[in-house]
Amino acid sequence: MRFVFKAICAIGMMVVLASAQAATCKGKFANPITDICWSCMFPLYIGSATLASMDQEDTPNPGGNPACFCGNPPKLGMKVSFWEPVRRVDVVRDPFCMVSLGGIKMDPGFDAPVASRFRRDGQDQSSFYQVHWYVDPLIYYLQAVLDNSCLENQGFDVAYLTELDPLWKDDELTRILNPDVYLFGNLPARAACAADCVAATAGFPNNTFFWCAGCQGSLYPLNGNIQAHVGGVQASSLEVYRITAKLHREMLMWAASGEDGMCGYYPQPVLDKTGYKYHMLYPVPQTKKIAGKCCQPLGRSTALWGAGREFPFEGEDFAYQIFRKRNCCQGAVSLGN
């Protein structure tokens, strides 16, 4: 009887452990009504006139004549400016855990590096996460606005998995993408990031300090290795920053703002840090406004909005909505056939 009892206990323990392992991947499909901070799209300008601002932050827009012209295809229109929700990002501990797809776990048949946290000398803590990048043009696939050339016209898709990227875990291989890291791996360059932190917290980050990620630390290396892990919200925000800069460096993500963006997207290998805003979707949707805002530029201190957004078990993976600044020539007259 004692043997049977031990066997039952052992089997029960195996079942519990297997269930716990299967339950490590948690997530949620974002509700576009309750989980998206739609005020992040503003301010909305037509020409130099503010159509709506909602007291949201903005970057400078092309000035001069409000009329615009594009040659391919030929069109004459008005300058418009807004922030378009275009991408979604998962930051996860468990490889192939798709937080934004409801917490499903993919099984490609091979292993990938798992998340980790280390303490060095009993003080500094480092970490590593995997990241998933989704094409997520909300306005288009919700059919809120149809047939508009100023919106990204494609459906929801899984675009990039760092589990398939050999550079994401390896600092030395990553130097292929960012050889300029050798210029900024010193104390004066790191100290300069304090100024970028102040700029990002007061408004938008400073592109002069292009090697900095504001209050999140150093933008380099462009991979998942976090040298200074303060908390999950801070570390995952830095991963969002890095994957955006990495995809720009690889020409997989193009810019859409400024005078160059009026007639279409253009490559930008060095990220314009002022071209993006983001907010959390999971585990706690960031929809409650703080000082009139529920999203923030890249690099802003997470101390202002991150409290209570990380908790054990179901609250240690993260998902974020990305808004990209869009300057566009909204065609009023088509000059082609």
In a domain? residue 48: no
In a domain? residue 121: yes
- Pick out the chain residues at pLDDT < 50: 1-22
In a domain? residue 63: no
Q: In this predicted structure, what is the pLDDT of residue 75?
A: 87
In a domain? residue 149: yes
Q: In this predicted structure, what is the pLDDT of residue 29?
A: 95
Question: In this structure, are residues 253 and 246 in contact, taking their beta carbons and an 8 Å threshold?
Answer: no
Give the closest residue to 321 by CA, choosing from 276, 289, 290, 288. 276
Q: What is the dihedral of CA 82, 247, 220, 122, to 10 degrees?
A: 100
In a domain? residue 74: no
Q: In this predicted structure, what is the pLDDT of residue 285?
A: 97
Q: What DSSP string runs through 56-94?
A: --------S-SEEEEETTEEEEEEEEEEEEEEEEEEESS
Q: In this predicted structure, what is the pLDDT of residue 120?
A: 65
Question: In this structure, are residues 248 and 270 in contact, taking their beta carbons and an 8 Å threshold?
Answer: yes
Host domain of residue 107:
87-323
In a domain? residue 50: no
Q: In this predicted structure, what is the pLDDT of residue 22?
A: 46
For the chain, the domain total comes to: 1
In a domain? residue 20: no
In a domain? residue 298: yes
